[in-house]
Chains A and B, each alone.
Chain A
Amino acid sequence: MSAAADVTDVVIVGSGAGGAPLAARLSQAGVSVIVLEAGRAFRPDDHVADELAADIYWMEERLSGGADATAFGANNSGMGVGGSTLHWGAFCPRPDARDLRLRSESGRGEDWPIAHDELIGYIDAVERFIGVSGPARYPWDVGRRYELPPVARNAPANAMARGCTALNITATDAPAALVSRDREQPHWGERKACINCGTCHQGCRTAAKATTDTSWLPLAVAHGAEVRAECRVVDIERDGNGRVTGVVYVCRGERRRLSCRALFLCAGGVETPRLLLNLDLANSSGQVGRNFMAHVATQVWGRFDADMRMNRGYPSSLITEDMMRAGDADHAGGYLIQSLGVMPVTLATNLARGAGLWGRALVDLLDDYNRLGGIGINGECLPSDDNRLTLADETDAYGLRKARIDFSYGPNERAIDAHARKTMTAIWEAAGARDIFAVDRSAHTIGTCRMGQDGDRAVVDADGRSFDIDNLFICDNSVFPSALAANPALTIMALSLRTADRFLATRG
């Protein structure tokens, strides 16, 4: 252990959607901040347009169980300065007010301890800072404005528009956290307009896509924050009263110690609870690791007569919110539909695993890659006691026990899945697709350290503060009390700003 005592007001573990905005806001307020990030730092043009070689994923092994075991690795977890925003799809619908009050509305799920209006205020601030492209008129929220015009639709988006029109479903250009025009990003430089390259999930080489390393982190650094890459937090130190006094991290094989007055865990929906469980911390409620949620992310595919080449263009350029509360719904909550552009390797694994294909059927479809098109959903997932992150007996290279995640759909997820299959199949038929089939898939790592008003039922309060340890905060996908149908990153960034404001307002 290095002897040099390193001290800072705040340590933030993780530089993704949860960690970076608050790093910026706290340092703007004069708080000294050090961000510790396990992954390495990239320049945009370090990214490689290759699905296997892209090295921006969290590839350390996780164990997945349950009837609908969810895939990790490239499917949902990032690593690097920027976290999962390095490879996120930048599809950024806003959270629906009804989803935040799902329990009040349906008697199922959970209500959020934060009002929708307040959250939207923060969402608005996030959107203005990172730059979002979207339609001039958003049909489900007509007052909403996006700074930038939408990017070009790709072939699956056009097909989806066709199918939706035929079925009287409203669809429009999706809100996307990317710049459709060159745009100056404060303290970073010019982000070039999207070039329709389609490799968002492998890392954006033009910086058109919003990532925290080209937005929030430069802002934080400009105000004195320090971002330390390749620093893995492995321990949290406490005083006799149980308050956090600092962290221990490993940097290139060397163990180091960093003292702090407050600690923010923003390591994502798997690593945050895994660390707490390994260290047996902040868990008097017994809720750490519980209520793991993954969005129902079923896809429907088909062949077209046209040359689609869906790898071209921003992948998810069309959206419909019409199914957020479908008239004939037999489930609580709802889902969003988006058009897809999926790269060949991801498609191949999804077809082999999620569609259960092999043999001629698999080869014929993959050979027809240029003619395939798909649409997919992001659907509500209710918290459940059976879905849980626990520790496996096996340990990782740092001696910490690996995460085991058990996940099974409940009746509500099955109902959403079935409803979505039917709807999407109808859209695809109307769009002219043949040989239509569905692929099972779930996405995102949500819950596991939920926030709430009651310390017996939640790990943190609405401000992200641990009920057990008053200088320990959590801010990432793990604090979500319910999944929300909207994809999570925009909401995580908004919560991050709010957590910073609440910290600044309430610190002693």
Chain B
Amino acid sequence: MNRVYFLHALGASAREWDQVIADLGDVGACVPLCLPGFGGSPDADLDVAGLVDWFSEQVAAHQPQSWAVVGHSMGGKIATLAAARARDGDPAFAGLAAVVLLAASPPASEPMAEERRAEMIDWFANGRIGPDEAATFVDANTAQRLPEPLRTQAIADVERSRRLAWTGWLKRDSREDWREAAGTLAVPALIVAGGEDGDLGEDAQRRLNLPHYRNARVEVVAGAAHLLPYEQPAAVATLIRDHITQAFGRALPAPFVALLASDRVSRGTRAVMTERHAAPPRGKVLSPQQRAVLAALIETVLPGAADPVDLAARIDAMLTSGIGDGWRSAELPADAEGWTSGLDTLDHLSSSFADASPADREQCLQSIADETADTEGGAFDPRQMRLWFAEARSEIARQWMALPATMARIGYDGFAVGGDGPHKQGYRLTAADMIEDWQQLEVQA
């Protein structure tokens, strides 16, 4: 079963998600957590790494499966750094499918006026925060006074905050700079800002969180400041649902995720497969028309098997990176030019390959393979077109076959060898019709 973990803001608790979760409907099992020292949990003086470790234990307790994380404010910093560990192959975080950040604290030091920070730390000078300060804190973070009984609940949660957790965040954790560790993340992210938030409003989200996610969207919720889940639960739930449902829709099958998380797989292998399962970086070589022709070509080369738009984006990304497969035909120009010329010629040949019927496309490719295509007026002659098509279909097949989703489709478990332990795991059985207990993947196609 898919799970969604919720990480609350400073001074809040798992309860801040009650209404959002009620509005979410059926997206998977929702697990709102109380961070250490909040919502009645024992106090703890954890730095950011400690918080991420704590979160990894929560996730690992329920593995293996696909999961998403929604992080609010302070919880957002933890969510992003968990995603970074997932990217780096940490088995505890394997299976992460989506991230949602709400008014999130960034991996960088959080922007905060020093006197405000000092004031908030001072609230705990004698060990506990008083009711007036708690109310001030809640009211300062909402666009409008929260309706009852939410306001009372929110204030009560602030009062339940423990000193070490509260001051640890303000004095140290919020200032820790984790930008380098966060790096660039491929997991699909939704970044939400409150239209009336201050330091962590839209501008800060774009400056400090967005650059860490290469596959992210920013949304601004009107009528909310910083306490989004309390202020606009319905709007927040809708955004979360759309994002997470889509991400879970393309998640790998559960047995595959389980195998990928297991100690049969090395961190290095897990990291590259996790990265590859996500959407590729944006390609810049192909025009929209060339992409459309490429998608149609992919559909003809791998009918019904590949997601043509996704694979076309991957090939564009490969061309943009300039890293190919180590060689090319001497009769073709360099890869980027080769592909654009090939696609243009293909389009020209069949007067709109993208719109042609499957039978016409098939016939067109056959004539290219036979070198009988009339390429008059195109950039390539028939021989070049044949060579380019050989290159193109092998690249299409290569990129498709390397996708974890394709491995799942064909029931391939050959990535689950080696591991990181002193004794590497391979296959005990190699003969036909004999498999081992751990080989649970079934052919999907």
Cα separation A159 to B432 with both chains bound (whole Å): 9
Q: Given A45-B420, A404-B330, decide whether A307 and B432 contact each other with a Cβ distance below 8 A.
A: yes
Partner of B328, one of A64, A152, A356, A363: A64
Partner of B398, one of A198, A345, A367: A345
Interchain CB contact under 8 A, B414 and A49: yes
Q: What's the minimum C-beta distance from A78 to chain B, rounded to whole angstroms?
A: 11
Instruction: Number of A interface residues at 8 Å Cβ cutoff, please give it.
Output: 72
Cα separation A85 to B176 with both chains bound (whole Å): 45
- The interface residues of chain A lying within 8 Å CB-to-CB of B418 are 45, 47, 49, 197, 199, 205
- The interface residues of chain A lying within 8 Å CB-to-CB of B303 are 359-360, 363
Chain A residues 330 to 360 lying within 8 A of chain B, measured CB to CB, are: 343-345, 347-349, 351-353, 356, 358-360
- The interface residues of chain B lying within 8 Å CB-to-CB of A358 are 300-302, 365, 393
Interchain CB contact under 8 A, B329 and A356: no
Partner of B272, one of A53, A343, A363: A53
Cα separation A276 to B275 with both chains bound (whole Å): 40
Interface presence of A487 (CB below 8 A): no
User: Residue on B with the closest CB to A351?
Assistant: B397
Cα separation A45 to B188 with both chains bound (whole Å): 30
Interchain CB contact under 8 A, A362 and B425: no
Interface presence of A52 (CB below 8 A): yes
Q: What 1/0 flags go to B274-286 for Cβ under 8 Å of A?
A: 0010000000000
Interchain CB contact under 8 A, B301 and A359: yes
Cα separation A75 to B445 with both chains bound (whole Å): 28
- The interface residues of chain A lying within 8 Å CB-to-CB of B268 are 46-48, 53
Of the 9-residue stretches A55-63, A229-237, A410-418, A459-467, which lies at the interface with chain B?
A55-63
Chain A residues 155 to 204 lying within 8 A of chain B, measured CB to CB, are: 155, 158-159, 192, 194-199
Interface presence of B262 (CB below 8 A): no
Q: What's the minimum C-beta distance from B364 to chain A, rounded to whole angstroms?
A: 12
Interface presence of B324 (CB below 8 A): yes
Interface presence of A370 (CB below 8 A): yes
Interface presence of A306 (CB below 8 A): yes
Interface presence of B29 (CB below 8 A): no
Partner of A65, one of B329, B393, B398: B329
Interface presence of A139 (CB below 8 A): no
Q: What's the minimum C-beta distance from B203 to chain A, rounded to whole angstroms?
A: 37
User: Residue on A with the closest CB to B409?
Assistant: A367
Interface presence of A298 (CB below 8 A): no
Interface presence of A154 (CB below 8 A): yes
Cα separation A64 to B394 with both chains bound (whole Å): 15
Chain B residues 391 to 445 lying within 8 A of chain A, measured CB to CB, are: 391, 393-398, 400-402, 406-407, 409-412, 414-415, 417-418, 420, 423-433, 435, 443, 445
User: Residue on A with the closest CB to B421?
Assistant: A45
Q: What's the minimum C-beta distance from A386 to chain B, rounded to whole angstroms?
A: 14
Interface presence of B146 (CB below 8 A): no
Cα separation A304 to B429 with both chains bound (whole Å): 18
- The interface residues of chain B lying within 8 Å CB-to-CB of A206 are 424
Interchain CB contact under 8 A, B328 and A63: yes
User: Residue on B with the closest CB to A373?
Assistant: B432
Q: Given A53-B272, A307-B433, A359-B301, decide whether A370 and B411 contact each other with a Cβ distance below 8 A.
A: yes
Interface presence of A311 (CB below 8 A): yes
Interface presence of B369 (CB below 8 A): yes
Q: What 1/0 flags go to A358-396 for Cβ under 8 Å of B?
A: 111011001111100000000000000000000010100
- The interface residues of chain B lying within 8 Å CB-to-CB of A195 are 417, 424-427
Interchain CB contact under 8 A, B415 and A153: no
Interchain CB contact under 8 A, A72 and B327: yes
Interchain CB contact under 8 A, A344 and B412: yes
Interface presence of A313 (CB below 8 A): yes
Interchain CB contact under 8 A, A198 and B427: yes
Q: What's the minimum C-beta distance from A86 to chain B, rounded to whole angstroms?
A: 15
Interchain CB contact under 8 A, B397 and A49: no
Cα separation A192 to B426 with both chains bound (whole Å): 12
Cα separation A348 to B394 with both chains bound (whole Å): 7
Interface presence of A37 (CB below 8 A): no
Partner of A192, one of B369, B391, B424: B424
Q: What 1/0 flags go to B246-266 for Cβ under 8 Å of A?
A: 000000000000000000011
- The interface residues of chain A lying within 8 Å CB-to-CB of B402 are 50-52, 345
Interface presence of B61 (CB below 8 A): no
Q: What's the minimum C-beta distance from B251 to chain A, rounded to whole angstroms?
A: 20
Interface presence of A308 (CB below 8 A): yes
Interface presence of B325 (CB below 8 A): yes
User: Residue on A with the closest CB to B362?
Assistant: A359
Interface presence of B218 (CB below 8 A): no
- The interface residues of chain A lying within 8 Å CB-to-CB of B266 are 45, 48-49, 205
Interface presence of B356 (CB below 8 A): no
Q: What 1/0 flags go to B308-340 for Cβ under 8 Å of A?
A: 000000000000000111111111001000000
Interface presence of A450 (CB below 8 A): no
- The interface residues of chain A lying within 8 Å CB-to-CB of B396 are 352
User: Residue on B with the closest CB to A359?
Assistant: B303
Interchain CB contact under 8 A, A306 and B300: no
Interchain CB contact under 8 A, A309 and B330: no
- The interface residues of chain B lying within 8 Å CB-to-CB of A47 are 268, 418
Partner of B432, one of A53, A197, A198, A306: A306
Cα separation A474 to B443 with both chains bound (whole Å): 50
- The interface residues of chain A lying within 8 Å CB-to-CB of B435 are 307, 309
Cα separation A51 to B402 with both chains bound (whole Å): 7
Partner of B410, one of A53, A199, A362, A370: A370
Interchain CB contact under 8 A, B330 and A49: no
Cα separation A60 to B324 with both chains bound (whole Å): 8
Q: Given A199-B418, A363-B302, decide whether A352 and B394 contact each other with a Cβ distance below 8 A.
A: yes
- The interface residues of chain B lying within 8 Å CB-to-CB of A77 are 326
Partner of A367, one of B300, B410, B429: B410
- The interface residues of chain A lying within 8 Å CB-to-CB of B423 are 192
Partner of A50, one of B301, B400, B415: B415
Cα separation A313 to B268 with both chains bound (whole Å): 21
Interchain CB contact under 8 A, B394 and A198: no
Chain A CB within 10 A, most for which of B329, B334, B398 = B398
Interface presence of B305 (CB below 8 A): yes
- The interface residues of chain B lying within 8 Å CB-to-CB of A359 are 300-301, 303, 362
Interchain CB contact under 8 A, B273 and A61: no
Interface presence of B390 (CB below 8 A): yes
Q: Given A196-B428, A198-B426, A312-B414, decide whether A406 and B330 contact each other with a Cβ distance below 8 A.
A: yes
Q: Given A311-B412, A358-B365, decide whether A155 and B432 contact each other with a Cβ distance below 8 A.
A: yes
Interface presence of A74 (CB below 8 A): yes
Cα separation A392 to B445 with both chains bound (whole Å): 44
Interface presence of A71 (CB below 8 A): yes
Interface presence of B147 (CB below 8 A): no
Partner of A370, one of B327, B400, B412: B412
Cα separation A46 to B418 with both chains bound (whole Å): 11
Chain A residues 49 to 97 lying within 8 A of chain B, measured CB to CB, are: 49-53, 57-65, 69, 71-75, 77
A–B complex contacts, Cβ < 8 Å, 9 sampled: A48-B268, A59-B324, A155-B432, A197-B418, A313-B427, A313-B430, A352-B390, A358-B365, A363-B302
Give me the interface of A with B, judged by CB distance under 8 Å: 45-53, 57-65, 69, 71-75, 77, 152-155, 158-159, 192, 194-199, 205-206, 304, 306-309, 311-313, 343-345, 347-349, 351-353, 356, 358-360, 362-363, 366-370, 392, 394, 404, 406
Give me the interface of B with A, judged by CB distance under 8 Å: 265-266, 268-269, 272-273, 276, 300-305, 323-331, 334, 362, 365, 369, 390-391, 393-398, 400-402, 406-407, 409-412, 414-415, 417-418, 420, 423-433, 435, 443, 445
Known pairs A344-B412, A352-B398, A366-B406 / 15 extra A-B pairs, C-beta < 8 Å? A45-B418, A48-B269, A60-B326, A65-B331, A74-B326, A77-B326, A152-B431, A196-B427, A197-B425, A198-B427, A348-B401, A349-B398, A360-B303, A368-B410, A370-B410
Please provide the 7 A-B residue pairs with the shortest distance between their CB atoms, ordered closest to farther.
A73-B326, A195-B426, A313-B430, A65-B330, A197-B426, A311-B414, A197-B417
